[in-house]
Amino acid sequence: MNNLPVLADRLAKLFLIYSLFIAAIVIGIPSAIVLFHSDSADPGKNIVDTSLEKNVANPAKSESTAKRTTKSSPTPAPLHTLSFGWVTGNYSNLANYNNLQIVSPLFASIGASSPLKVETASPLISKMHGEGKKVWGRVTMEAQTSAATRQFLENPGRINQTAQEIGSNAVKSRMDGINVDIENIGANDRKAFMSFIVALSNALKPNHILLSVDLQPETGGVQNISSFNQVLNQYSDYVVFMGYDEHWATDPTPGPVTSLQWLKNNVQQFIKTGISAQKLLLGLPSYTRVWQVDANGATIQSQAVSSEDFNNLMLKEHHSGQWNSTTGTSYVSYSVGGKQYKAWLMNDQSLQSYLQLIQDYHLAGYGFWNLNLMSANNWNKLPNPG
């Protein structure tokens, strides 16, 4: 009878150990199964939190890991919007133009029958590079007439020679790009102009110099324009839509230099006829026109003035404009000395609506003709299109 307490104590201890063993089996095995299947379903789960460190330590391994762990398409990176401005003369006070990436000064001019004339001085290029800006040298005709352009393009040998001269001078001058600004190209001259662009592209590409081509809106219909635009799109890095002079200096009917609906229509047409949206840059004016009109509203004469200066003048004279959402401008009419004037003002709201087209159509960026007429203060007010 004296051994009964000892036996009972031993049985209690054995029961306790047995209970713990059973509990371990009941709880531990399912947990292990859950953990095993969880890790098997997503092998990268446990390394997600340390992926940033691995990106730095081993980029190749990180890329491989990302491919294994990504279960859906990655979010596209935001579009990189280019910003540029043309300048004339020796204008170079651009240090305070925030986010101005590219400057396009006159680089060379082509005579109808005379040798290429190189214009840009190297100090200007060095100054721009010192400010962290790229330089796209502008190439133009000495006379921007259809007759002069045709005379140049009629000579295939001259086309190739000029392209080579531009290429070699661009290298010597440390140009980042070339901007071709040749206007008034007739329908019969398009094929020859395409040959010039191909030759120029071939001269620039080996030296990693970009090529951009300025294009006016097509006013004579879109027949046969697609093949022309497709060649430009293929051999150019960028195409600049010159979105100004909707109403030109001698237009008999006054109107805005540019307007929202006109810009939109032409952007759509460029894309439809072969220019990639990702290569298309939206060129905007930094000027407006003041129109003197007769009693019937017809043009007597017009004068191009800085939009910024004219807006300030209208504000000073208390001339409030009437906003038009279709044109994206404010219309003003006033008289001075018995003479009647009209103007269409571009203000901050105008620029907001114009630059919105970059997001709407996924364009490459924007630029202004020209920065001589646009202060750093006004440039810095531009909305960020993306």
Contact 240, 179 (CB under 8 A): yes
Lowest mean pLDDT among 18-22, 73-77, 268-272, 327-331: 73-77
Separation of alpha carbons 349 and 346, rounded Å: 8
Q: Does residue 28 have a pLDDT over 70?
A: no
90, HSE (Cβ side, Cα atoms, 13 Å): 4
Q: Does residue 329 have a pLDDT over 70?
A: yes
DSSP characters over 189-255: GHHHHHHHHHHHHHHHGGGT-EEEEEEPPP-S-STTHHHHHHHHHHH-SEEEEE---SS-TT-SS--
Q: Does residue 169 have a pLDDT over 80?
A: yes
Question: What domains lie within the chain, and their CATH numbers?
Answer: 82-285+350-379 (3.20.20.80)
- Bigger pLDDT: 319 vs 197: 197
* 3-state per-residue secondary structure call for 91-129: CCCCCCCCCCCEEECEEEEECCCCCCEECCCHHHHHHHH
Q: Does residue 351 have a pLDDT over 60?
A: yes
Region 38-62 average pLDDT: 30
* Gap between the terminal Cα atoms of the chain: 94
The pLDDT tens digits for 355-386 are 999 999 999 999 999 999 999 999 999 987 76
User: In angstroms, what is the C-alpha Rg of the chain?
Assistant: 33
- pTM equals 0.78
